[in-house]
Amino acid sequence: MGSAMASNLQAAGHVLTVWNRTPEATEPLVSLGAKAARTADRAAQGEVLCSMLANDAAVRAVFLDSGLLDAMDAGTVHVNHATISVALAEELAAEHEKRGLDYVAAPVFGRPDAAAAAQLNMLVAGKPAAVERVRPVLEAMAIRLWPLGEAPQRATVAKIAGNFMLAAAIESMAEATALTRAHGVSAADFLDVMTQTLFAAPAYQGYGKLIAEQRFKPAGFTLPLGLKDVGLALAAGETARVPLPFAGVLRDSLLEALAGGDAELDWSALSLVAARRAHLDGAG
Amino acid sequence: MGSAMASNLQAAGHVLTVWNRTPEATEPLVSLGAKAARTADRAAQGEVLCSMLANDAAVRAVFLDSGLLDAMDAGTVHVNHATISVALAEELAAEHEKRGLDYVAAPVFGRPDAAAAAQLNMLVAGKPAAVERVRPVLEAMAIRLWPLGEAPQRATVAKIAGNFMLAAAIESMAEATALTRAHGVSAADFLDVMTQTLFAAPAYQGYGKLIAEQRFKPAGFTLPLGLKDVGLALAAGETARVPLPFAGVLRDSLLEALAGGDAELDWSALSLVAARRAHLDGAG
Amino acid sequence: MGSAMASNLQAAGHVLTVWNRTPEATEPLVSLGAKAARTADRAAQGEVLCSMLANDAAVRAVFLDSGLLDAMDAGTVHVNHATISVALAEELAAEHEKRGLDYVAAPVFGRPDAAAAAQLNMLVAGKPAAVERVRPVLEAMAIRLWPLGEAPQRATVAKIAGNFMLAAAIESMAEATALTRAHGVSAADFLDVMTQTLFAAPAYQGYGKLIAEQRFKPAGFTLPLGLKDVGLALAAGETARVPLPFAGVLRDSLLEALAGGDAELDWSALSLVAARRAHLDGAG
Amino acid sequence: MGSAMASNLQAAGHVLTVWNRTPEATEPLVSLGAKAARTADRAAQGEVLCSMLANDAAVRAVFLDSGLLDAMDAGTVHVNHATISVALAEELAAEHEKRGLDYVAAPVFGRPDAAAAAQLNMLVAGKPAAVERVRPVLEAMAIRLWPLGEAPQRATVAKIAGNFMLAAAIESMAEATALTRAHGVSAADFLDVMTQTLFAAPAYQGYGKLIAEQRFKPAGFTLPLGLKDVGLALAAGETARVPLPFAGVLRDSLLEALAGGDAELDWSALSLVAARRAHLDGAG
């Protein structure tokens, strides 16, 4: 994901210094002219630092535990594209502020192919001046920027809530198709109607197709990643005292899928869980 | 709803005899040339009988308890557009069969304005010959027919499952916006992103707008109707032993809304329940 | 259940006329001196009519649809021991009232062996004068009467709520033991602690033993009966607009058990569902 | 809690060196002859170290982050009475093992008054030799020891699962009484029956009384502590892939109570949440 995004920056004429925890991952970018940094802090010396790390632990390790923030020049803008917890987003905002660094949260909706085509929808939150400075960088990677205000965690919570809505859409199709199948209507026939009418949207059409075809490999987004993201929603809800009953159901369905050993499947495999509970046969 | 559908039949040149439990409701159709029947059985003497009644109780009263089916001519096709229970759909199919009557289930997706514009999406299940005979009638009311096989209850269960998906979409937006609002992002800002990107579909755009604007009156579809339809999903699940955890959550949220006295609100007012649980302020 | 209760009446010296939908079921009572009635209305000619039928449908068929109530003498007290819906309890109360008949609801907690030993806990609601008249009859069957006021449905709802608490106790042990087993503590070891300390009560000790020993046959109370009773709680909640999230979970767990074909098992087999979801091995 | 437990050790003739993060808390023990340590590591020089800290963060701070474990003598047995996460229990077991220290988990069921009276039920897991060495110490504080095997986390998970069962018992009474109240039966009348019959156990009688009397202050165990403990169950379930639908419901109910600002109330105030959802009046 990060590589695809960076290649668009390069294509737009930006000069890149790149770093990855797995150095080989940067080779394609280097072959196109990017400079490879041997350590993260060397990649943090430019005007803008874009980071795309896997989760809270990786972000914490690279930015907070390593001392990287202390090594950055005041005035540098850090743009964080990762989906992290609201709590960490708030902590990062404070830690950057303390050091005179600008921090912009810019999580994205879109799969790797959308990233490669610079078609990401990018949620953006940060101080207006900082956002303005990085706008050309962001626009090189996105089909559209969605400004969400000044506090970076606002973009973070919107991304988390959006992923929760995706998970809920999947579970809703999973349960609905278990119901129709039990009464003789295949998932394909039913979802064909729904995703061409009331639910004619990318989220439903994409996952609906996977559910109808029971095609869960290769995964676009695995069940453990789904569990992580539903966990971020639950954690954000816990901090702010927001009950989320659908998220609780999703957590249990994802755990049940994982208990069955399906860690490598796409999270649309939630439909297998719903079908198993009703003891339906394997085929759609 | 029924009037809007009937007016399209009339516009297409079909000769109508109409009946309604509230006789005045047929006046607009009569003024355009329809014949008003004083009793239901007189409206059932044509080649095709289209019925659109409110719920199981009404369908049972009119067709089973009254003896109407016994009064119909063999060969008549009864097209039932109502959203009823799977159990009643099966019972009706058997009762028609027994009397040599054809029975086609043809429930619709679409609000009254879509009905008036002949833009309904119509799910159709019944014996092929019967469906063929009534096709011109159905096409006069629908933008598209979606064939779902021979057993009438197949169209019924698909309609029920579709309404369940609508309810789940609303609850998913209700919880997601409670979460974003608690962290500083308004429902309007958040839903603006989602309904123009991953969830750019009629279901989300329509209900998303109502949630963002907190505009629950006048209702397009009231909370008690929502409870009725989620109840149909739960009942269909119970018959076929299909657990539906999202439907259980929906049931409780709808009951909570109704306990608060909001029976006249649109079912998108589920967002009020999610906000109240988090003790968020009234405004979006 | 009914036979066991009736035999205590007989033992207490009451003169019985008995009727059962399956005539042979009355033979043991007849051999001890009871008079067998060929029809239900002949069994309804005494001072007190005690009925113990399986469910709403049976009660409705025998008392309302058959005209039995019309055949009863004003002044007769009907004591209904069955667990029925709150809605039917209210309807029965009204129908008796209309005919000048006294109606007392007296559902019981206790298994058949408790019934045989006259050890039932009996919830009692009805007009004080009627309750006083039947007190000697009730006391012959119960270890204790629990008066709950004048409106018969009050005893009914208390019985339904009590059965819901039993189901919740079972599910709570089912989930707790799935959790401990997954971390190496057997259901037997864990429940041994709990049911001798904080949960040293008949409900937990009885069902805890069945769960620890995975002994679900022969059933004391089957899964379908559990589903019926949780359904009565959900229905009573729906009427009065009371959300019951635990009941929703119970409904789904019971359906999942039944989807697996376990209709003849005791409802403590909910523990199998919790274990299967976590993909634990069969043995405790 | 810790003081009450320690005073029983003192009463049994054990020589104590005591430490608390708030030094004044040790004064009563010191006045009875205990030696006060100025730092935690000085309290860790005896044969047996009993610790009772509030939560994971406190245990981690005192034992892992501070270097205390490194300062302890090989052969010392550390008995941890705190309710902590299964993950931390496993980590602690490994860290002790690595340093040749014995580690026994001995969490307890019982309120402070039970602790003062040496009436705690103590779950015990650890290597047999270590458990034998500390047995006289444990017996001085407990009414009974419940051995759960060698791996310390086994006692931890049993304690977590037990607290989950308590929470479920409270929610079950909360929902059941909302249902009965809505149909005219007070919580007091209903719980009076249940807690003297099927649920005649300390957990139900204690919390049932608080619910019936709506007496939530002063709290024996606050809502935030309940949320913490349900969180431990959910976390233990997540690690081992065990879905826990009741725990998800509990989490949401606790959050809803806390969103309403009831942080200082006893967790039996879950009954307020159930009643509010049904819009019942305040009084039982």
Instruction: Give the model's pLDDT for residue C259.
Output: 97
Selection from D93, D98, D3 nearest residue D50 by Cα:
D3
Instruction: Give the model's pLDDT for residue A75.
Output: 86
For B50-101, the DSSP string reads: EE--SSHHHHIIIIIIT-HHHHSPTTPEEEE-S---HHHHHHHHHHHHHTT-
Q: Does B279 touch chain D (CB under 8 A)?
A: yes
Q: In this model, does residue A282 exceed pLDDT 80?
A: no
Contact indicator for C235, C87 with CB cutoff of 8 Å: yes
Q: Categorize the per-residue pLDDT at A284 as very low, low, confident or very high, splitting at 50, 70 and 90.
A: very low
What pLDDT, in 10s, does the model give residues C154-181? 999 999 999 999 999 999 999 999 999 9
Using CA of residue D79, residue D83, residue D89, residue D95, what is the dihedral sign? negative
Closest partner CB to B238 (pick from C248, C249, C255): C255
pLDDT, average across residues C46-71:
94
Distance CA B21, CA B13 (A): 25
Q: What average pLDDT does chain C have?
A: 95
Which A residues, 234 through 273, put their C-beta within 8 Å of a C-beta on chain C?
A: 245, 252, 255-256, 259-261
Q: What average pLDDT does chain B have?
A: 95
Distance CA D227, CA A126 (A): 33
Closest partner CB to D256 (pick from B252, B255, B277): B277
Residues of chain A positioned with their CB less than 8 A from the CB of B149: 184-185, 189
Residues of chain D positioned with their CB less than 8 A from the CB of A238: 227, 231, 251, 255
Q: In this model, does residue C283 exceed pLDDT 60?
A: no
* C-beta atoms of B259 and D245 within 8 A: no
What pLDDT, in 10s, does the model give residues A211-264? 999 999 999 999 999 999 999 999 999 999 999 999 999 999 999 999 999 899
Q: Between the CA atoms of C52, C53, C59 and C63, what dihedral angle is there, to the nearest 10 degrees?
A: -50
Fold of A157-277: N-(1-d-carboxylethyl)-l-norvaline Dehydrogenase; domain 2 (1.10.1040)
CB within 8 Å of C112: residues ≥ 6 apart: C1, C4
First CA to last CA across chain B, in angstroms?
Answer: 32
Closest partner CB to B252 (pick from C243, C255, C258): C243
Instruction: Give the model's pLDDT for residue B112.
Output: 87
Instruction: Give the model's pLDDT for residue D282.
Output: 61
Question: Within chain D, which residues score under 70 in pLDDT?
Answer: 282-284
Distance CA C273, CA D244 (A): 11
Which D residues, 145 through 164, put their C-beta within 8 Å of a C-beta on chain A?
A: none
Q: Categorize the per-residue pLDDT at C282 as very low, low, confident or very high, splitting at 50, 70 and 90.
A: low
Point out the residues of C that are catalytic.
159
For residue B62, give how far its alpha carbon lies from the nearest alpha carbon of chain A (Å): 26
Residues of chain C positioned with their CB less than 8 A from the CB of B223: none
Selection from C153, C161, C180 nearest residue C250 by Cα:
C161
Distance CA A215, CA A211 (A): 7
Cis geometry, peptide bond prior to residue D218 (ω within 30 degrees of 0): yes
pLDDT, average across residues C1-11:
92
Cis geometry, peptide bond prior to residue A218 (ω within 30 degrees of 0): yes
Count CA atoms closer than 13 A to D130's CA, side-chain side. Answer: 29
User: For A83, which DSSP code?
Assistant: -
- H helices of chain C, in order, are 2-11, 27-31, 56-59, 68-71, 86-98, 112-116, 128-139, 153-182, 187-196, 202-213, 223-240, 245-259, 270-277
Instruction: Give the model's pLDDT for residue A283.
Output: 41
Least confident of B40-44, C102-106, C236-240: B40-44
Q: Which residue of D has its CA nearest to A235?
A: D231
Q: What average pLDDT does chain A have?
A: 95
CB pairs under 8 A between C and D: 210
User: For C97, which DSSP code?
Assistant: H
What pLDDT, in 10s, does the model give residues A59-104? 999 999 998 999 899 889 999 999 999 999 999 999 999 999 999 9
Beta pairing partners, D104: D79
For B151-183, the DSSP string reads: STHHHHHHHHHHHHHHHHHHHHHHHHHHHHHHT
Instruction: Give the model's pLDDT for residue B282.
Output: 61
Point out the residues of A that are catalytic.
159
Residue A183 CB coordination number (10 Å) = 22
Q: Which of C88, C164, C195, C198 should one mutate to test binding to chain D, selecting the residue with the greatest count of D CBs within 10 A?
A: C198
What pLDDT, in 10s, does the model give residues B133-156? 999 999 999 999 999 999 999 999
Cα B36 from chain centroid (whole Å): 25
User: For D25, which DSSP code?
Assistant: G
What pLDDT, in 10s, does the model give residues B186-234? 999 999 999 999 999 999 999 999 999 999 999 999 999 999 999 999 9
Distance CA B189, CA B39 (A): 53
**Where do we find the tokens 């869960």?**
A216
Q: Which residue of B has its CA nearest to A200?
A: B201
Q: Which of B150, B183, B276 should one mutate to test binding to chain A, selecting the residue with the greatest count of A CBs within 10 A?
A: B183
Q: In this model, does residue C109 exceed pLDDT 90?
A: yes
Which D residues, 198 through 237, put their C-beta within 8 Å of a C-beta on chain C?
A: 198-204, 233, 236-237
Instruction: Give the model's pLDDT for residue D277.
Output: 97
Residue C3 CB coordination number (10 Å) = 17
Selection from D238, A203, D257 nearest residue B173 by Cα:
A203
Using CA of residue D56, residue D59, residue D61, residue D63, what is the dihedral sign? negative
CB within 8 Å of B94: residues ≥ 6 apart: none
Q: Categorize the per-residue pLDDT at B75 as very low, low, confident or very high, splitting at 50, 70 and 90.
A: confident
Catalytic residue check, D159? yes
Cα A101 from chain centroid (whole Å): 24
Q: Look up the ipTM and state it.
A: 0.96
Residue C218 CB coordination number (10 Å) = 9
We find that the CATH architecture of domain C2-151 is 3-Layer(aba) Sandwich (3.40)
* C-beta atoms of D252 and A248 within 8 A: yes
Cα A279 from chain centroid (whole Å): 33
pLDDT, average across residues C29-46:
91
Q: What is the CATH number that goes with domain A2-150?
A: 3.40.50.720
Looking at residue A39, its amino acid is T
So where are chain C's domains? 2-151, 157-277
